[in-house]
A and B are shown apart, each in its own frame.
Chain A
């Protein structure tokens, strides 16, 4: 498997987290996301968080290696979403300013608030479809 070169901001983010995780789930999140970004290129998308599985109806979709679509709402069909180029940009999105939720949280704050319990690491549709990593 070829290792994908990450954005510098994500390299720094992952490095800064080592030894500073707030929970086991946060450690799992950063380790899993690093692995996915480096080794799991996806053409069919990787649904990290589904709007059907949290009260705020937030969704997070990984595309290619490290592009992310963060959106809100069941059935909004792309009307309320942001597309960013890496995990650092995704985690920095302010969900309140985007009109996604009614409390001032970044995506990272929001994930910490629920201790990453909404995250599903097993929905890379390339792997589901092929049974193999790209």
Chain B
């Protein structure tokens, strides 16, 4: 697979990827992560992509460090792990402080678009902590999983 640039030349649907690798991928606890950014020097504020290639999780960083991860199932967007900001749920007022992961779940619709499974964020499940916790900590040692 090489240094990441090889498999990053095309996205899941065979198109030339609009993202670029910031460092070689890491494998932690059997999960492959990759720090990436949108190509180009201008900040478009685009989030991590709909689809992955060979990585299980893509990471995004800003001036404050690695701040978000997006996990994929079958190469399709599935979970967002975000700890870059304080999040408040609308229905129950539950707060997730900055630095603590809150999770959003996505599903792909029949027409190819993605929508959230729930309007509300939740904490990481035990299974998610076991699978993704080590790689989240590897990329951002200060992150609180729950």
Residues of A whose CB lies within 8 Å of any CB of B are 2, 4-5, 7, 41, 43-45, 47, 50-52, 59, 61, 63-65, 69, 74-79, 83, 85, 125-126, 129-130, 132-134
Contacts of A63 in B (CB 8 A): 47
**CB of B125 closer than 8 Å to a CB of A:** no
Which residues of chain B from 30 to 65 have a CB within 8 Å of any chain A CB?
42-47, 49-50, 62-64
Q: List the interface of chain B (C-beta within 8 A of A).
A: 42-47, 49-50, 62-64, 67, 77, 80, 84-88, 90, 104, 106, 109, 111-116, 119
Looking at the assembled complex, report how far the CB atom of A102 sits from the nearest CB atom of chain B, in whole angstroms. Answer: 22
Choose among B44, B63, B85, B113 the residue that contacts A83 (Cβ–Cβ < 8 A). B85
A-B contact pairs, 15 of them (CB 8 A): A4-B119, A43-B80, A43-B114, A64-B104, A64-B116, A77-B62, A78-B84, A79-B62, A83-B86, A85-B90, A126-B113, A132-B112, A133-B113, A134-B109, A134-B115
Q: Which residue of B lies closest to A7 (CB)?
A: B90
> B63 to A77, Cβ gap below 8 A?
yes
Contact of A79 among B63, B90, B104 (CB under 8 A): B63
Q: Which residue of A lies closest to B85 (CB)?
A: A83
Residues of B within 8 A of A59 (CB): 45
Known: A44-B46, A134-B114. 20 other contacts (CB 8 A): A2-B115, A7-B90, A41-B116, A43-B50, A43-B80, A47-B45, A50-B45, A64-B116, A75-B43, A77-B43, A78-B63, A78-B67, A79-B62, A83-B86, A85-B90, A125-B46, A126-B114, A129-B50, A130-B50, A130-B113
